[in-house]
Amino acid sequence: MLRTISMTLVVLTSLLVNPLSAQDWAEKMFTTLEHDFGTVARGAETVYRFEIRNLYKQTMHITGVRSSCGCTTPTIENATIKTHEKAYIVAKFNTHTHIGRKSATLTISLGAPFAAQVQVRVHGNIRSDVVFHPGLVQFGNVDEGEPSVKRVTVNFAGRNSWQIVDVRNDNDRFEVELNETQRSRARVTYELLVRLKGDQPPGFITDQLSIITNDPRADSQRIPLFVGGRVIPEISVTPQTLALGALQPGEVVTRKVVVRGKKPFRIQTVDCGDDCLSFKTDGESRAIHFVEVSYVADENLGAVRLPVEIKTDRANGRGATLQVSATVVEPASTPLPAEQQSSGQSANTAETALAEETASN
């Protein structure tokens, strides 16, 4: 009887421990398992991306994600994750259809080769008395060097003493102008003009403004307003990463890249800070250039990554960055045919004999 009880405990323990250990290895791929949206306005575009990074040799597959609450809609970015690659679970807080304090548990399912489930949580407070229109400052695609202006209306329903006392932003490439346009017994309206300066570097814009109010409650005084968009570079290079493959020391390889601009330009300099790369360009002014890149593998074995800066005669020396990668490997050792080996040995013997005879004379 005691033996039967012991065996039952072993089985129960294995059933309890294995799922937990499986979940532990899967949770290690997440940078965080919880996010607080804080206090947000109704209608605000409120999104958080849970990052997943594959730490293992096997390719991982996200098979699904579900939410415990309709206040949050989850989606998957990149369901197949190879080694060291990243994926995201995007949690969208549904501020258009829900109000008040809300929370949701998102359950992410991983499939073969190793099945597991990971739960992440989001929560926040959706204010019904403050409404943004539109829900975020969306600049869309903006050409490099070009300023842009967007307008957002902030409506408050309640006491007429309500005020926006400040708009804070850590990005000095934004300028914000705040204007009160309406104040009545039960309604207050502000207009925000958000200006993107022309010195914003190329790439995606992911930022936020903080609307500071005179609300008496500390947790309601700060309301986030998200900012999104993308600055399109004037000069681009294709491909952005030039992979040269496996090379032996001393081996030379030459490739061409295409450098494009919206207007004709001259390439002023191409520099990688390393003597093992050389470049061939001309001094012509055109919208498309073909740049010849030559690489000489040195004696240092292993991976090589070289950032290449391409500067042009456009404003402020605008240009593009090219990443050159290669792997320097040991020279292949191929056995010589038998006849070459014997002839080589004879030659070596003759040279040795000649050297001995010369020395004796």
Q: Would you say residue 291 has pLDDT above 80?
A: yes
Mean pLDDT of 143-162: 92
Greater confidence (320 vs 341) lies with 320
Task: Quote the tokens at residue 270.
Answer: 């191409």
Question: How far apart are alpha carbons 55 and 85 in whole angstroms?
Answer: 8
What is the average pLDDT score of the chain?
84
Cα–Cα distance list, 254 to 127, 159, 181, 260, 279 (Å): 60, 71, 63, 20, 9
Greater confidence (195 vs 353) lies with 195
Model confidence band, residue 270 (pLDDT cutoffs 50, 70, 90): confident
pLDDT for 148 equals 95
Phi and psi angles of residue 96, each rounded to the nearest 5 degrees, phi first: -75, -30
Model confidence band, residue 53 (pLDDT cutoffs 50, 70, 90): very high
In the chain, domain spans:
19-127, 136-232, 235-328
Structure confidence by residue, pLDDT tens digits, 66-101: 999 999 999 999 999 998 899 999 999 999 999 999
Does residue 153 contact residue 184 with C-beta atoms inside 8 Å? no
Q: Would you say residue 278 has pLDDT above 90?
A: no
Number of H helices, E strands in the chain: 2, 23
Mean pLDDT of 231-250: 90
Same fold, 19-127 and 235-328: yes
Mean pLDDT of 54-60: 91
With the C-alpha atoms ordered 103, 134, 226, 217, is the resulting torsion angle positive or negative? Answer: negative
Structure confidence by residue, pLDDT tens digits, 196-216: 998 888 889 989 899 999 988
Mean pLDDT of 109-130: 92
Helices (H), the chain: 2-27, 338-360
- Given phi > 0 = left and psi -120 to 50 = alpha, else beta, which region is 99? beta
Residues 6+ apart with CB under 8 A from 230: 139, 140, 141, 142, 203, 204, 205
Model confidence band, residue 275 (pLDDT cutoffs 50, 70, 90): low
Phi and psi angles of residue 284, each rounded to the nearest 5 degrees, phi first: -75, 155
Greater confidence (19 vs 53) lies with 53
Does residue 192 contact residue 178 with C-beta atoms inside 8 Å? yes
Q: Would you say residue 19 has pLDDT above 70?
A: no
CATH class of 19-127: mainly beta
* Cβ neighbourhood burial of 118 (10 Å; 0-12, 13-18, 19+): buried
Question: How far apart are alpha carbons 331 and 334 in whole angstroms?
Answer: 9
Q: Would you say residue 1 has pLDDT above 60?
A: no
With the C-alpha atoms ordered 79, 81, 85, 89, is the resulting torsion angle positive or negative? Answer: positive
CATH H-level, domain 136-232: superfamily: Immunoglobulins (2.60.40.10)
Model confidence band, residue 13 (pLDDT cutoffs 50, 70, 90): very low
Residues 6+ apart with CB under 8 A from 348: none
Mean pLDDT of 288-292: 91
Q: Which CATH architecture has domain 235-328?
A: Sandwich (2.60)
Greater confidence (217 vs 30) lies with 30
Question: How far apart are alpha carbons 258 and 253 in whole angstroms?
Answer: 17
